[in-house]
Structure 1
Amino acid sequence: MENKVVRQLISNIISLRVGIKQFYFQRVKELDLDLTYEMVQVLAVLWREGELNQQDIADAVQKSKASITPLIDNLCKRELVERIPDPNDRRNNKITVTAKGFAYQAKVEPIQQEFLDKIIQDISMDEIKELNNSLVKIRKALY
């Protein structure tokens, strides 16, 4: 019985991840922004944190550095971010948002707010805190 409950929890977590991705994909598509969910993740980290190196971005979005490279390449092609050589380490580049990238922020932030509003619509903050604490415990158990 316990295994069944845990498997259902895992299934629900995976389903939630897919649902989040679909929500953002649909809203971004409606705005005709030509961005993938993964690109939005990278931009959101840079909007929040400012200039970062590729490894820091990969860590923040929980992807490998190698999988971040094509995302950054595509964001550079769209002129939303740019690579700036790191003066302290020639092997590294800093990734920074361009003016056009910041203009996208104004378009994407309402999507983020809509997403958050949908979550808190039927779930109390106490329930969210409890769920968050449980997810942290699960993550710690895995590492």
Structure 2
Amino acid sequence: MEKGFDNLMVPFMDNLIAVRQAVKTFFQRRIKELDSDISYEMFQVLNVLWRKNEVNQQEIANAVQKGKASLTPLIDNLVKLQLVTRTEDSVDRRNKIITLTKEGQAFQKKMDPIFNDFYTQFGAGLSEKEIQTATIMLSKILSQVNN
């Protein structure tokens, strides 16, 4: 790899890490404002379920980039808060199916204005084309990393 390419990648990666941290900080602050007992990690699990409603535990672990063992206490807490249920997979009893409850759906509605603020703040000054280009570029990088 050329030295010039390295010089481009270092600030790119620095900015990528900074954006990831800014997203986390944004949601941590806003969730705290809701006066809920939800951690950022629990929010990540809920966010997966808000897209699919019912998912096996391994899919959630993959989506939030955590091991199944570290995911278990997060799901336990969400069950205690009555935001999700956990049931055995009828096909494979080793798998657990995590399902959003009505309370979990209600919490999603509380989060809708926060998501709108997030999209407004983080997308400010970007055109639709820039967002599409960045999405394609990040998908390519992710594909390279996962291969």
TM-score, normalised to structure 2's length? Answer: 0.89
| 2:91 match: secondary structure | coil
1:81 matched to 2:84: yes
Unaligned runs of 5+ in 2: none
1:13 to 13, 16, 22: 16
Identity of aligned residues (%): 46
C-alpha separation in 1, matches of 2:26 and 2:94: 37
Unaligned runs of 5+ in 1: none
Q: Match of 2:61, as an amino acid?
A: A
TM-score, normalised to structure 1's length? Answer: 0.92
1:131 to 120, 129, 134: 134
C-alpha separation in 2, matches of 1:70 and 1:2: 42
Provide the aligned C-alpha RMSD in A.
Answer: 1.4
| Ranges of 4+ aligned residues in structure 1 off by more than 3 Å | none
Residue 80 of structure 1, CA deviation = 1.1
| 1:122 match: secondary structure | coil
2:37 to 30, 34, 42: 34
| Alpha-carbon displacement from aligned partner over 1:34-87 (angstroms, at most 9, x marks no partner) | 211111111111121011110011122232222211211111121211111222
Residue 109 of structure 1, CA deviation = 1.7
Residue 126 of structure 1, CA deviation = 0.6
1:107 matched to 2:110: yes
| 1:96 match: secondary structure | strand
